């Protein structure tokens, strides 16, 4: 049975393995070089210090994937907007794990009084696009040739889920 839970520092090696595989073999991350353990540790610490959740999907002690939300942009007026990230190990994709990891992010964003979640997805990643749309995300932008990886130009789509407006937005 797949268990979704909050990540701990002990999960970092498993998350790093998944993330580096995504960098090396997919267009889900527009980066070229694998990350070091220290980079993943800094990322995790920053998430914790900022109050952003990181979730793990595991089965029998094996990490199958992870997800998180974080700032969409760094300017003050964007403080009610977050961007989500969902990564699943290659051999476990297509089993609904991504959706299991995205659902708690939506709930966490609501609890944090966020107004919107943005998903940035390579336009060739049909499974991620379908998953997000199945949970109410709507395509709001399609950027052409904004990345270059694996010898070709990459197109990026932004999908958005509007949540209930915070009761008392503050400037």
135 lies in a domain?
Answer: yes
Q: What is the pLDDT of residue 166?
A: 65
Q: Does residue 32 register a pLDDT over 80?
A: yes
Confidence band, pLDDT 50/70/90 cuts, at residue 171: confident
52 lies in a domain?
Answer: yes
What is the layout of strands, in order, in the sheet containing 116-122?
Answer: 3-6, 54-59, 62-71, 81-88, 116-122, 152-162, 138-149
Closest by CA to 84, choosing from 101, 106, 68, 98, is 68
Q: What angle do CA 14, 19, 25 make, to 5 degrees?
A: 125
Look up the domain containing 45 and give its range. 3-162
For 20-30, what is each residue's pLDDT tens digit?
999 999 999 99
**Region 73-97: what's the mean pLDDT?**
96
77 lies in a domain?
Answer: yes
167 lies in a domain?
Answer: no
What CATH number does residue 32 fall under? 3.40.630.30
Query: Could you count the other beta carbons within 10 Å of the beta carbon of residue 74?
Result: 7
Confidence band, pLDDT 50/70/90 cuts, at residue 37: very high
Phi, psi of 161 (to 5 degrees): -120, 120
Angstrom distances, CA of residue 10 to CA of 48, 84, 88, 135:
14, 22, 18, 30
Q: What is the pLDDT of residue 45?
A: 97
22 lies in a domain?
Answer: yes
Q: Which residues pair with 118 in a beta bridge?
A: 83, 160
Domains of the chain: total:
1
Q: What is the pLDDT of residue 19?
A: 98
- What residues contact 107, with CB distance under 8 A and at least 6 apart? none
171 lies in a domain?
Answer: no
Is-contact 159 118, C-beta < 8 A?
yes
Q: Which residues pair with 138 in a beta bridge?
A: 160
Q: Does residue 50 register a pLDDT over 70?
A: yes
Q: Does residue 135 register a pLDDT over 80?
A: yes
Mean pLDDT score of the chain:
96
**Region 141-155: what's the mean pLDDT?**
98
For 97-111, what is each residue's pLDDT tens digit?
999 999 999 999 999
């Amino acid at each position: 049975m797949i268990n979704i839970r909050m990540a701990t520092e002990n999960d970092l090696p498993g998350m790093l393995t998944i993330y580096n595989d995504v960098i090396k073999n997919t267009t889900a991350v527009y980066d070229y070089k694998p990350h070091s353990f220290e980079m993943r540790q800094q990322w995790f610490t920053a998430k914790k210090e900022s109050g952003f959740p990181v979730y793990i999907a595991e089965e029998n002690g094996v990490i199958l994937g992870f997800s998180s939300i974080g700032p969409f942009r760094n300017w003050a007026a964007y403080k009610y907007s977050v961007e989500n990230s969902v990564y699943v190990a290659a051999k476990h994709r297509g089993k609904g794990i991504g959706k299991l990891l995205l659902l708690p992010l939506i709930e966490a964003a609501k609890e944090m009084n966020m107004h919107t979640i943005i998903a940035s997805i390579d336009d060739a990643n049909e499974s991620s696009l379908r998953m997000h749309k199945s949970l109410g995300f709507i395509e709001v932008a399609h950027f052409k040739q904004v990345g270059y990886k694996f010898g070709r130009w990459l197109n990026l789509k932004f999908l958005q889920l509007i949540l209930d407006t915070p009761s008392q937005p503050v400037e």
